[in-house]
Amino acid sequence: MIKSAFCYIFKVEDFDQAVAKLASLGYDGVELWPQVVEVIPIEHIKEMLDANKIACAQICPYFNFVEGKELWDKSMEIASRYIDYAVKLGNPLIRVFTGRVWGGPAVGAHVATEEQWSAAIEGIKKICDMAAPHGLRLALECHRGTLMEDSPSALRLLREVDKPNLGLNLQLPLLNEDVDYSVEQVGKYTIHMHANNWSDRESMGQDKNLTFVRDGVIDYNKVIRRLLKLGFDGYVSIEHANHAGAHDPWLTAEVDGAYLNELKSALNK
């Protein structure tokens, strides 16, 4: 079964009105970043979500296991805080990065040392164990510049962490992979999806020529149909809704919200 979500991109002070509008567009969930959950009291966030009958689909902290003990320890502190947030918000997924993806050098799977791999594996194992008593699941975001930037690296991380409450947040395209190939490789481990699209294949995975999920070169109807056959049951979440400045994010919310509503009607049978 698929549910629709939207990655919150609006001003923090507009949260109450934005949540109400997203719910009116048919979204089942909203995805939240630190600039929301660390600014607005969690109790108020939950109150607004409940009032509008929309769920928190995922919360998105920033962990860093690969740049030394200080940041590793800080990641454990962040994890403890976000587990508390998640419990109060109704048990959304907790997104996992292995290191920074902007603001400095990224450590991708193909440049990471075995020491960095070991630190990430140990860190994710520990957070999974912290989350498990609360019934919480974690989702590795398949993002370039992380230890899950392509199918082999994502599968290695899943295999070596080996925790039942860990899955994948699939964000296509994966590094140097055909979309259909990626879906076949990691689809059965996917528990959440970030949906982006581009107007041409040469721009895929870049911050340019982003367009509506409905209209771009990735056929999400096909992708989601295949994921469902592989057992997918989760949110498809519209990300980067301003398309690097090309569109008003509310226009994206309307266009792609309608598209996801169509897919839900057609595929959730």
CA-to-CA separations, 228 to 22, 69, 158, 165, 246, in angstroms, rounded: 24, 40, 20, 19, 31
Sequential pLDDT tens for the chain (269 residues): 999 999 999 999 999 999 999 999 999 999 999 999 999 999 999 999 999 999 999 999 999 999 999 999 999 999 999 999 999 999 999 999 999 998 788 999 999 999 999 999 999 999 999 999 999 999 999 999 999 999 999 999 999 999 999 999 999 999 999 999 999 999 999 999 999 999 999 999 999 999 999 999 999 999 999 999 999 999 999 999 999 999 999 999 999 999 999 999 999 98
Specify whether the CB–CB gap between 132 and 166 falls below 8 A.
no
Q: Which of 200, 185, 192 is nearest to 169 (CA)?
A: 192
For the chain, list the domains and their CATH numbers. 2-267 (3.20.20.150)
Q: Which phi and psi angles does 190 have, rounded to 5°?
A: -85, 125
Specify whether the CB–CB gap between 45 and 79 falls below 8 A.
no
Is the pTM of the predicted complex or chain greater than 0.85? yes
